[in-house]
Amino acid sequence: MIVAWPAYLENPAATTGVPSMQDHDLASFTYLIAFPVFCIWGLFRIATVGWGRILTDLRRRPINTIAMAVISAGLFGFIWVNVTLMIYLNTGQSAELSNVLKWSPLFLSVSVTGTAVLVFGERVYDEIVAWYELRRLTPLWRRLIELSEHDLHMSVNNLATPVKLQRAYVEISDAICTVRPLVDGPCTVDSTVEALREGAVSDDPQTPTLSQAFPERKTRREDLELISRLASEYRAGAPERAVRV
């Protein structure tokens, strides 16, 4: 483009379109063929990167993958616009340009939407999921902190919701290793929840902790599943009573 600049200054009208391919000079060839081809190539490279990730990343990061696909769809639209404009400008059909350019806002909107989802989508999704899970865990979390004889709680007021959720799991995990519920018979989710509601816990070191009373769990997933069952049952139950045995 720098080399063709003097030729453009001599004949600026050449860049507004030519009747046929035989009528090109250096300026018109640069601005009407070389530069559009370069732009189309760049758009195509970006679009194919996003489109190619659909099959490989859809299950691993669905939101980002869909966002990249939407961006790619918008870029493919711009490729169509540029290809069509290049054809019209090089074949003496400049009068038809407006019919093509009117589609540009649509493809721009698609690309901007995809970009917004790519930037904010996973963060918003994580916040929503964390808020829901935290809302479900909070009654059990508060009750175990109340009943534990140890100071396990750390202020979470200034933390992001996903971090609060992780802190809730940590403190609940610590609490079930210290709270000793008094239950009649085998320790089950129902009997444990009832003991927590009643405040029926013991300070006697001989009484098994909540963690010890349940069957041994060998993985972190099993711990989280136990916490999830306790939280769901506790939240669905009656109000607690602050009684300590």
Question: Looking at the structure, do residues 16 and 84 belong to the same domain, yes or no?
Answer: yes
Burial of 137 (0-12, 13-18, 19+ CB in 10 A): buried
Q: Could you give the number of structural domains in the chain?
A: 2
In a domain, 229, yes or no: yes
pTM over 0.75: no
In a domain, 43, yes or no: yes
The crossing angle, in degrees rounded to 10, of helices 104-147 and 62-89 is 170
Q: What is the mean pLDDT of residues 89-95?
A: 82
Burial of 238 (0-12, 13-18, 19+ CB in 10 A): exposed
Question: Looking at the structure, do residues 131 and 224 belong to the same domain, yes or no?
Answer: yes
Residue among 230, 154, 150 at smallest CA distance from 196: 230
Confidence (pLDDT) at 128: 94
pLDDT digits (tens, 9 = 90+) for 118-167: 999 999 999 999 999 999 999 998 888 888 877 777 787 788 889 999 99
Question: Looking at the structure, do residues 87 and 130 belong to the same domain, yes or no?
Answer: no
In a domain, 39, yes or no: yes
Domain enclosing residue 198, as ranges: 126-235
Question: Looking at the structure, do residues 87 and 28 belong to the same domain, yes or no?
Answer: yes
Question: Looking at the structure, do residues 97 and 138 belong to the same domain, yes or no?
Answer: no
Tokens of 182: 């008094």
In a domain, 219, yes or no: yes
Tokens of 213: 């009373």
Distance between CA atoms of 182 and 147, rounded to whole angstroms?
12
Band of residue 5 on the pLDDT scale cut at 50, 70, 90: very low
Question: Looking at the structure, do residues 226 and 136 belong to the same domain, yes or no?
Answer: yes
In a domain, 14, yes or no: yes
